Structure 1
Amino acid sequence: MKIAIIGTRGIPNYYGGFEQFAEFFSVYLVEKGHEVYVYNSHNHAYQEKTFHGVRIIHQNDPEHKLGTFGQFIYDFNCIRDSRKRNFDIILQLGYTSNSIWFFLLPKKPISITNMDGLEWKRSKYSAPVRQFLKFAERLAAISSDYLVADSLGIQKSLKKRYGKDSTYIAYGAHPFDNPDISVLDKYELQPENYNMIMARFEPENNLDMVLEGVVKSGDETPILVIGKHETKYGAYLKGKFGQYKHIRFTGGIYNLAELDSLRYYSTLYFHGHSVGGTNPSLLEAMSSQALICAHNNDFNRGILGDNAYYFSNPAEVATLLLTTKKSDNLQLVKNNFEAIKRDFNWEKINGEYLQLFEDCMARHQSGK
């Protein structure tokens, strides 16, 4: 098959979850004998024409000049270019800035769209933007030949809102069992004597709720707050909690091995995300054998089941801090680690996508 992947800033990954998936999956497809193209921003750090056999197509991306609006132009450029490539399948990762150009997609290729999370629910967006995102989601759902949902909650929502079936394929992670205890020296920490929360600094990720619980508990065990905090919301949180020395705003940490080691040796790992599908950082926490305390919602429960503690308010966070120890819950940690190996490993996830592609091609060729 001749396959294109659009909707990301490009590979190798320097940005986020979809880029990480595009990197792993495109290389996997090449190893299976397929001809694969990934669209990259023209100012991506990687400027070569191939990456482990994957062909890179750089397109003009004015986001650095125009902000968010530049993403729409970049996606337009990618879709316009795809019209001359004679692809069999175009995989679109997300819909935010590309679904409005659906009418420009070439007619021959099968279009498959990963529908991402419920972007229009994110409180960081203004009411008009959220209304647009609802519209963009609808366009993607209706215009795509096939849909992928990366959580059962998203799959249920697509069926309810649009009457459209989708294929559930989760995100993936690599099992991690090689921690480096020397990483703790860099942060002046002791094993299982600190807690963590890691997220983008956005209200729906509930950092405020977790940190209020930390203060409410009176527990002065260090907690690392990991994420880029040079934002309006970050300034608000630092202003509110900066006086508490045990609440440490580390900024973003992008070394995955370092992050995995920090998660591995932590006492409690708080996951506050409340909107979206299968969150990559949640799977990484499971894979690095952290004891997870997650915001109580269908998305998190759909992944963790009974193998985590849950919270809905600061008081519940405080109770968890005062009553929960990792050493008493090693079975939960083991169950999540086994789930990564069994259900969420990249080989399985990549294989499920390839199976979907093959099924779609067979249906397409048979006219069904």
Structure 2
Amino acid sequence: MKIAILGTRGVPANYGGFETCAEEISVELARRGHEVLVYGRKGNYNDQENYYKGVRIYHIPRLKGKVTETFSNTLLSMFHVLAQKVDIIYVMNTANSPICIIPWLLGKRVVINVDGLEWRRKKWGWFGRNYYQFAERLSTIFSDRVISDSMGIRDYYLERYKTDSTFIAYGAQIEQSTRPEILQEYGLEPGSYFFVASRLEPENNADLTVKAFEKVKTDKQLVIAGGANYKSSFIKNLEKTTDKRIRFLGPVYKEGHIKELHCHCYAYVHGNEVGGTNPALLKALGYGNTVLALDVPFNAEVIKDAGIMYQRSSEDLAEKMQFLVDNPYVRSTFSTKAINRILEDYTWTKITDEYEQFFKDVMAGAFKKGVNEKELIRTS
């Protein structure tokens, strides 16, 4: 098959979940003999490189800006890909669904990964929230099939838009520390800190984590890695804490640094409540972290019994953190469970297998013909 992937910043991945997914599945599909094109944003990587591990990469311009960047880059990428005679156009991000009308009108095979419920993010004003809800509806019209990254998102599209979708999660690698000396750059010791690695946006609840940690009796630190790609009063308010045990590292992009910060933390705190299967949560499990996760359906679906769920209150999170501080022996149990959880359902090999079969089904016109998905799986 010849498959084009649009709507990400490009590969190699150095930013978020879409990029990691694009890299992992494109490289593996190319290794299996498929021809894969990945479109990214000019200026994000070395624009002189045309191939990455067997994947053809294109660096396409974009209009910089929180609102314009994704849409403009995907639109220009779409015009380019239509001249490439690909079998399947795979578009990531609900925001790009209006663009899918172009290949849809031309009779091209196009699928879209809708990710989480972007309109619930508090950074968006009235226009942004309504645009994303409008784009959700269009994604069910201008595509051969919607991909949902969690069963919770699949249920949402069934209930709200009466549209079934194909559930394919993100994946993670099982990784261990290889450069422990990196911790010295941050003045940290192994096991001496709780860790958060996330975009610092309100719906990821870093403020709740800060308030909770302020209540915990420990000499450990709370280390927060992340920022926002826009000016944020939320971050300014976070940094007003007077607790000297809390440290803000800002965005951490140096190769291998996030991995080492994960691998040596005492526990990882995951406060995201909006998305579907969250790549940051999967990474934490893949590193063998003891995970404290906000109790929302998307997180519970991933965690099962491999971590500790907390309610949306600083008191409850503080109680769970204090429990881990007072009972360090439980960490080894959760570390083993975390790794087994990834091996059970979220290896990139398994995820790529699912994508490969899905693309074959799209090629066969199964979804256009209205074949029942359960029957399709049974007969594949």
Length-normalised TM-score, structure 1: 0.92
Provide the C-alpha distance between the structure 2 equivalents of 1:290 and 1:250, rounded to a whole number of angstroms. Answer: 19
Give the direction of change, closer, same or farther, for the CA distance of 1:14–1:194 in structure 2 (3 Å limit): closer
Distance 2:103 2:264 in 1: 48
1:57 match:
58
In structure 2, distance between residues paired with 1:68 and 1:340:
34
Give the superposed CA RMSD: 2.0
Deviation at 1:218, TM superposition (A): 4.2
- Native 8 Å contact 2:225 2:249 kept in 1: yes
- In the alignment, the residues of structure 1 paired with residue 332 and residue 357 of structure 2 have an alpha-carbon distance, to the nearest angstrom, of 35
Which residue number corresponds to residue 291 of structure 2?
292
Query: How far is the alpha carbon of 1:120 from its aligned partner?
Result: 0.7
Q: Give the partner amino acid of 2:41.
A: S
Letter in 1 for 2:156: S
Q: CA shift at 1:52, angstroms?
A: 2.2
- Consecutive unaligned residues of structure 2, counting only runs of 5 or more, are 372-380
Can you list the C-alpha shifts for 1:263-300, whole angstroms capped at 9, x where unaligned? 22222211000110111111111011111111111011
Using the TM superposition, name which of 114-123 and 83-92 deviates more.
83-92
Shift in Å, 1:46: 2.3
Work out whether residues 40 and 58 of structure 2, in 8 Å CA contact, stay in contact via their aligned partners in 1.
yes
Q: Aligned equivalents of 1:53 and 1:267: distance in 2?
A: 38
* 2:224 alignment partner, SS class: strand
- Cα shift at 1:12: 1.6
SS at match of 1:250: strand
> 2:288 and 2:206 mapped to 1: Cα distance?
21
| Contact 2:7–2:70 (CA under 8 A) maintained in structure 1 | no
User: Which amino acid in structure 2 is aligned with residue 28 of structure 1?
Assistant: E
Give the Å deviation of 1:59.
Answer: 2.3
C-alpha spacing 1:50/1:268, structure 2 compared with 1 (3 Å):
closer
Aligned residues: 363
Offset of residue 189 of structure 1 = 2.7
Q: Which residue of 2 aligns with 1:304?
A: 303
Shift of 1:366: 9.9
The one-letter amino acid of 1:209's match is L
Task: Say which is worse superposed, 280-289 or 333-342, in terms of deviation.
Answer: 333-342
**Match in the other structure for 1:82:** 81
Aligned to 2:130: 131
Structure 2 residue 97 is the aligned partner of structure 1 residue 99: yes
The answer to whether the Cα contact below 8 Å between 1:80 and 1:105 also exists between their aligned partners in 2 is no
Match of 2:281 in 1: 282
Q: How does 1:228-239 map to 2 (within 5 A)?
A: 228=227, 231-239=232-240
Other-structure match for 2:375: none
Partner residue in 1 for 2:319? 319
Change over 3 Å in CA distance of 1:122–1:366 after alignment to 2: closer
Q: Which residue of 2 aligns with 1:121?
A: 120
- Give the match for residue 352 of structure 1: 354
Any idea what SS the aligned residue of 1:38 has? strand
Question: Corresponding residue for 2:365?
Answer: 363
* CA deviation after TM superposition for structure 1 residue 180, in Å: 4.0
In structure 2, do the counterparts of structure 1 residues 350 and 256 end up closer, same or farther at CA, with 3 Å as the change threshold? farther
User: CA–CA distance in 2 between the matches of 1:185 and 1:42?
Assistant: 34
- % identical equivalent positions: 33
